[in-house]
Amino acid sequence: MVRIANLITNKRLLDKVHDIRRELFALATTDKLTGCHNRHSLMEFSDKFISQALRHKYPVSMLVIDLDHFKAINDNHGHAVGDIVLELTGKLLNDSFREGDLVSRYGGEEFVVLMTHCNGEDARLKAESLRLAIEDLKPNGLSITTSIGVSSMEVGVERDFEAMFHAGDEGVYKAKENGRNQVVYVGLD
């Protein structure tokens, strides 16, 4: 009886340790405000994400998403409203992508999404759909827009996270230069 009681106690403790480990992992990899992966998590998982695509020969696309005029939102409406904008944008992003995609808050008002099994054309269509959804979001009654840079590593092209991010970030800058609230695709050389 004592042995059985000890086994039951040990099992309960082990279950508790596993639950705590899961909670700690979630805390370490998730941005608390948006519920998206954090930048550290993105950097940790992106190499594995891309290497799997290369090994199994499927396309991967990246969206670099930057909320337009976010500093003005914080300046004119306060950081609490800015936080609401980020929180609702993060929820929209998490709800808009598949479970296998990696949705991350890169920093400030910038998000990065890695999409598995997604070619450039599909990524552009998804980005345009997302741009419209963000425009319709109206967090706290505010009109917000976004500039999105898209890059894609098609089958047969070998690039790393940095190359994809550089291309996506270039797309964001071009979108902003061209008036904001648009999607710009930048191919990988």
Q: Indicate which residues carry an active-site annotation.
A: 109
Distance CA 49, CA 60 (A): 9
Residue ranges with strand state E in the chain: 60-67, 102-107, 110-116, 146-153, 183-185
Look at residue 60 and give its three-state secondary structure: strand
C-beta of residue 182 within 8 angstroms of C-beta of residue 101: no
Distance CA 4, CA 12 (A): 12
- Residue 34 corresponds to which amino acid? T
First to last CA, the chain: 69
Distance CA 184, CA 149 (A): 5
